[in-house]
Amino acid sequence: MEKRSIKNIGIIVALIAYIFIYKFVVFANFMRYSEMINASFLAIVLAVSIFLLGYRRDKSTILFQNIIKYTAFYIILAGIVIYGAGFAVGFLKNAYSREFLTLFDNIFAPIIIYGLFEFIRYVLIWANKDKKEFVIGFTVVLTLLELVFRIRSIDFGSFEALFRLSATTILPTIVKNAFFSYVCFHVGYKVPILYRMLVDVLYVYIVPIIPDLGEYIHSIVAISLPIIIYMNIYEMIDTKCNKPRPIIKKDSFSFVDLGIGTILVILISLVSGLFPLYMIGIGSTSMAPTINKGDAVILLKVDPNKKVKQGDVIAFTRNDSKKSITVVHRVTEVTNSNGKVVYVTKGDANKSEDVNMVSQSQVRGVVQFRIPLIAYPTIFFNDFVSNWR
């Protein structure tokens, strides 16, 4: 094995080791100082990487100038569209304080950490342009490291929570890092840093108001924006590299893309709860055989003042061991308690009714129909993890 490969593997091992150190040591015991510790570690990795692999000065080529113009244009265009939509749905005050010192503290750490991330990516990729397996490996590890920094906790017991985490954090981070590595491979670190500063810092920490579009719409934008920029710069990079372009029929992939995109939008919409219909996964056998473990059900939201009928299958929230869970059971009786409408519920597979009655405010929706086994992979994974806790 050549010396450069050994150096690459050593850096990858160090990054992976820190993922575990951060999760089980820094995050668990030094959360208050985690950003400072993370920045210090990344600075050390950058210094060691430059020492071991060298540093190539980033050149301002015509290709770079065109790509940075396209990137800035589409980021600004996305901002105009998002804030234009905000006039229809309303705005929210940014959660981060506008006071100068607090604002400085909030943005200083992300700027340092994101900047170090992209300089490390640049050094590692440009030292291995002839070894794409290492470029891919470094991209995967940097993506995992960013996810570990961003994700505070994972609720393996909720299909909805896992889907939300995947849609709003995991998938956008994967797409973004893949885009950064692709651009860095061809034109250097300046485009990823521009994207980071405008999208990850300016929009998140500095602007005083943000459109009230919901986390899922923001997630769709976060996933779509790098893909749109990539689609518009690919031809420039492809032409510059003088690669033979494959012959593709005009409509050979458009319908596939449309179908996949439609399915993703429908799934995100159903789980988001933004619309009257939404979907949840079933993790127990209490409603078998009507609804089986691993099925998903489509719920119709119910007005809190509207009564649910006897015989309806409803989803309602219940506190269990200091944790709020969603239960799907059938209404066996509609009655009154202290002048308020309450529901007696029972799982079809259970021998007796539930101990606690359900108030109208607890009802999340009425089941309209089920989709067999669509949630089974997530439920199986949850059960597997729970057995090893």
Domains of the chain: 3-265 (no CATH), 277-387 (2.10.109.10)
Report d(CA 221, CA 215) in Å as an integer: 10
Task: Report the range out of 82-91, 156-165, 354-363 with the highest average pLDDT.
Answer: 354-363
Question: What is the number of other CB atoms lying within 10 angstroms of the CB of residue 120?
Answer: 24
Q: How many CA atoms lie within 13 A of 124 on its CB side?
A: 34
Sign of CA dihedral 271, 142, 200, 85: negative
Q: In this predicted model, which residue has the larger pLDDT, 191 or 165?
A: 191
Rounded to 5°, angle at Cα 160 from 159 and 166: 90
Range scoring the smallest mean pLDDT among 24-28, 188-192, 249-253, 318-322: 249-253
Q: What is the mean pLDDT of residues 97-119?
A: 78
Angle (CA) 93 98 100, round 5°: 170
* pLDDT more than 70, % of the chain: 80
Predicted local distance difference test score (pLDDT) of residue 242:
54
Q: Does residue 270 contact residue 277 with C-beta atoms inside 8 Å?
A: yes
- More confident: 388 or 278: 278
Residue 96 has pLDDT above 80, yes or no: no
Q: 250 falls in which pLDDT band (50, 70, 90)?
A: very low
Q: What is the 3-state secondary structure (H, E, C) of the chain?
A: CCHHHHHHHHHHHHHHHHHHHHHHHHHHHCHHHHHHHHHHHHHHHHHHHHHHHCCCCCCCCHHHHHHHHHHHHHHHHHHHHHHHHHHHHCEEECCCCCCHHHHHHHHHHHHHHHHHHHHHHHHHHHCCCCCHHHHHHHHHHHHHHHHHHHCCCCCCCCHHHHHHHHHHHHHHHHHHHHHHHHHHHHHCCHHHHHHHHHHHHHHHHHCCEEECCCHHHHHHHHHHHHHHHHHHHHHHHHHHCCCCCCCCCCCCCHHHHHHHHHHHHHHHHHHHCCCCEEEEECCCCCCCCCCCCCCEEEEECCCCCCCCCCCCEEEEEEEECCEEEEEEEEEEEEEEECCEEEEEEECCCCCCCCCCCEEHHHEEEEEEEEECCCCHHHHHHHHHHHHCC
Query: ∠ CA(169), CA(174), CA(176), 5° rounding?
Result: 95
pLDDT for residue 119: 95
Question: What pLDDT, on the 0 to 100 scale, is given for residue 157?
Answer: 58
Average pLDDT over residues 278-290: 87
* Per-residue pLDDT at 245 exceeds 90: no
- Which of 42-46, 48-52, 144-148, 158-162 is least confident? 158-162
- At 118-134, the pLDDT tens digits run 999 999 999 998 888 89
What's the confidence (pLDDT) of residue 176? 93
Confidence at 214, pLDDT banded by 50, 70, 90: confident
Instruction: Name the pTM for this structure.
Output: 0.65
Average model confidence (pLDDT) across the chain? 82
pLDDT tens-digit map of 25-65: 998 888 888 889 999 999 999 999 999 999 888 777 888 88
